[in-house]
Amino acid sequence: MTDTTLTPIRFENASWEGHVTSDSTPQIEVLYLNEPLPNVELTPDDDGWSLHIPVPSAALSEGVHCVLIRDEITGRKLGDFTIIAGSPAEDDLRAELALLRAELDMLKRAFRLSQTSQGKP
């Protein structure tokens, strides 16, 4: 049995790239909406293989879109990536966390200003 691992490299210009290591030539399957994505490239590289996934334009639209990368032989999940765009992004936990951080920074500044005006160090 081969131990296949996937290391994400970058995601830009509608293209996701990663590095795959395996004891033998990996069989990679990339799924979007439970369908295999076309034009996925797996090429030999230093110490493994380069994985290039062109992101379909349908995934670059409003909503939350997940792409699953798995070993085709074992069915084991190797990785995934998520694309979030449009209105649902407002409800995303990360957006809420960023808002809370901004509010906390604002409160800290107000508290420091209040302390300074009262002559406290």
Q: What is the pLDDT of residues 69-93, one digit of tens each?
A: 999 988 899 999 999 887 656 667 7
Do 16 and 69 have their domain in common?
A: yes
- Does this model's pTM top 0.75? My answer is no
pLDDT band at 120 (very low <50, low <70, confident <90, very high): low
Contact indicator for 95, 89 with CB cutoff of 8 Å: yes
In which domain, by residue range, is 113 found? 87-121
Other CB atoms within a 10 A radius of the CB of residue 5 amount to: 14
Do 81 and 91 have their domain in common?
A: no
Do 54 and 71 have their domain in common?
A: yes
Whichever domain contains 54, its CATH number is 2.60.40.1130
Contact indicator for 69, 79 with CB cutoff of 8 Å: yes
Contacts made by residues 98-102, CB under 8 angstroms, sequence distance 24+:
none
Do 13 and 61 have their domain in common?
A: yes
Tally of structural domains, the chain: 2
Q: What is the pLDDT of residues 30-67, one digit of tens each?
A: 999 989 999 999 999 989 999 999 999 999 888 889 99
Contact indicator for 7, 48 with CB cutoff of 8 Å: no
Do 81 and 117 have their domain in common?
A: no
